[in-house]
Amino acid sequence: MKGMLLAVLSTLWLSAVAQITITNAYFPAVGDTLRYTTLANVATMLELITPPGENQQWDYSNLKSNQNTFTAFLAPSAGNNAASFPGADLLVRTFGGGESYYNVTNTQFEFMGFVGGASVPFVPNAIGRYSPALIERRAPLAYRNTHSQTSNLTIPFAKSDLPPVFDTLFASIPIQFDSVRVRVRVQNADTVDAWGQIKIPNAKEYIPVLRQKRITKSRNIVEVRIAGPFPLWVDITAFLGGTPFGGFTGADSFVVYRFLSNNHKEELLTVTADFLEDTIRTVRYKTLPLSVSVTPDFADAPGTASVQALPNPAVDKVRFECNNLPSDEYTLKIFNLVGKVVWRETFQASGRRTIYLDLDDFNKGTYLYSLSNKKGEIIGTKRLIVVKP
């Protein structure tokens, strides 16, 4: 009997500290909005990089910043350039009016390429494609998994698309050409080098994670195409120097540590450092609500008080169906994912009540809505996704 008890306790202890396996549940999907907080002045935060190993505990709950960003994933049909990326499953609108397209399989989340935005400022509608598509996420992932990939990003444009500032530069190149392209060779080497639990700001408890280390090496060159029966691309990088194209040349190497969870599509913490890991470039962490628990729409038991948003996702209008309410005063609130109330309405109800809301003043993204009674007891808290055309 004693031996059996020890075996059970041993099994429970092992399960409590066992490393997790990441599935494709952390791949983004249409309607998802990933929210991050980015830190400033991070160059000396080297304590965020710890040695590899098993069963670690990282407490980063004291990180502080108010620089919030988000990435909203839409259907490709919502973009203007889906035809340029056949087979794309997701679209992200980027800074400067650009669009990025992604492909998703059961095992890989891939960046196909982009159109416009701030990537090539002197050619606003430039198209960049990765060949093969750049793998941003893989599944399943387990401790000590390793992967590598080499991909080439190509951004071509006609000579006539470039502004006049380039005329003098091209006049110094001793060959005739009709097109120019920036080519970026990207090499990624990934290793799941640690596992354990992490605590980030506003998290109530430690979250099981895997830590993936990615070493990225890139080299940028600029080429021109010699027209003719047998077109030929020629490297002109050496001619560029301090010209406007100079910023698109050269090489870079850096390291990214990503803390991944099955229950969060955001990376819980991302630390980017120089190749030697002696300087931190950027740090960001998942933006968590302050003190909100969320239940799925299907969690309401029949006959119990409930609230549901319809349609969801919503575009310009939404209605909240409140059912089986005991006679009381109720407050319906909508707040963003950092806990700020952005709308509320208080009303008397008994049985059923429908609340209508115009979403003209709401930005696209994910919100939370919560219904409570006069005593402050929560009837339900759920997600509302707002999609804008």
270 lies in the same domain as 305: no
Amino acid at 18: A
Answer whether residue 278 is part of any domain: yes
Domain interval for residue 123? 18-69+117-128+136-286
245 lies in the same domain as 310: no
Amino acid at 345: E
202 lies in the same domain as 272: yes
Nearest in space to 329 (alpha carbons), one of 307, 306, 352, 346: 346
pLDDT at residue number 211: 98
369 lies in the same domain as 244: no
Answer whether residue 90 is part of any domain: no
User: In tens digits, what is the pLDDT along the chain, a chain of 389 residues?
Assistant: 444 444 444 444 344 456 899 999 999 999 898 989 888 778 778 899 999 999 999 999 999 876 788 899 999 999 999 999 999 999 998 876 789 999 999 999 999 999 987 667 667 788 999 999 999 999 999 999 999 999 999 999 888 877 776 777 777 777 788 888 889 999 999 999 999 999 999 888 999 999 999 999 999 888 888 877 888 988 888 777 655 555 566 889 999 999 999 989 999 999 999 999 999 999 999 988 654 444 444 444 455 788 888 888 888 889 999 988 999 999 999 987 656 788 999 999 888 899 999 898 888 888 888 888 888 777 887 888 888 76
Answer whether residue 160 is part of any domain: yes
Domain count, the chain: 2
Q: Return d(Cα 236, Cα 225) in angstroms, integer.
A: 10
Domain at 377, CATH number? 2.60.40.1220
263 lies in the same domain as 312: no
268 lies in the same domain as 303: no
Nearest in space to 152 (alpha carbons), one of 131, 134, 182, 136: 131
Amino acid at 360: D
Q: What are phi and psi of 267, to 5 degrees?
A: -70, 130
End residue of a domain, out of 286, 313, 348? 286
End residue of a domain, out of 286, 318, 344? 286
Answer whether residue 41 is part of any domain: yes
249 lies in the same domain as 309: no
Alpha-carbon torsion, ordered 32, 378, 291, 364, to 10 deg: 30
Q: Are 256 and 274 in contact (CB under 8 A)?
A: no
End residue of a domain, out of 242, 257, 286? 286
Write down the pTM of the prediction: 0.69
Answer whether residue 204 is part of any domain: yes
50 lies in the same domain as 170: yes
Answer whether residue 95 is part of any domain: no
Residues whose CB is less than 8 angstroms from the CB of residue 362 and which lie 6 or more positions away in sequence, other chains included: 342, 386
173 lies in the same domain as 310: no
Q: Return d(Cα 48, Cα 211) in angstroms, integer.
A: 12
Q: Are 101 and 88 in contact (CB under 8 A)?
A: yes
pLDDT at residue number 119: 67
